Structure 1
Amino acid sequence: MAALETNQSATQTYRNMLRWQAIAMLVVALVAGALAGMPAGISALLGGGAVIVGAWFAAKIAEKGQSQTQATAVLLNLLKAEAVKILIVAMILFAVFKLYQSLVPFALIAGLAATALFSGAALAKSQTPV
């Protein structure tokens, strides 16, 4: 019973984190779009979206390892999740730089940074639903 409650709690925490990230990404995209035009808004969405997709995959990996209790196994699972997240973000950003001709780099970085920062803030405030 406790493992099921822990799993539900962790799943809710990950969902809450992704919601906070999506809100941050949308706010930055709206501001960038209003200040610098549609390409800047799209660039911010692409930057934030890369982080959200990477975080989603990392959360799935972290969820799979929740039954492990050894410190080494937990640490390796977290490192694996973080490595996958970084790899996915890097691949998406590479594709964005290659394929999106109207890219506004500052907006992309702003979307990426806001979304990444809200990842940590959401985990710190994991009990505060959005």
Structure 2
Amino acid sequence: MSRVLFLSNPYDSSASPILGLANELINKGQEVTFFSSDEFQGPVEGIGADFKPYKGDLDIFHEKKSDESKSGLISALLEPMKFIDDIVVQIRGLKFDYAVFSPAYPYANIITQLLGIPKAQFGVAS
């Protein structure tokens, strides 16, 4: 049995396709840990995956909430380590065989290098 780390951008066009893949892997006996935004907690847990929320705003299309906050895009570009560190802290002590991520996921290369695991990009052809 493999343990798989899923890294999803927090919007439906990114999370939904790889959620289907995660479901198929779980049905085949794989263990899945799935990172996304809080709005996907129900669907992720509904397929039997371990849900992990992003603490920061990774939605690069999200509007600013106030003049003091940065948009997801600006924050992702200027403060990448805050997101990467959050993920690494949440998975401390867990071992993964590989990671699957959505095409636009910004930190997959860094995270998989830190963990020393292979990665697979999953996209849907239009």
Superposition TM-score tier, normalisation by shorter sequence: 0.3 to 0.5
- Name the one with the larger strand percent: 2
- Name the one with the larger helix percent: 1
TM-score (norm 1): 0.41
Q: Which has the higher contact order (CA 8 A, sep 6+)?
A: 1
Give the structure with higher Rg (CA).
Answer: 1
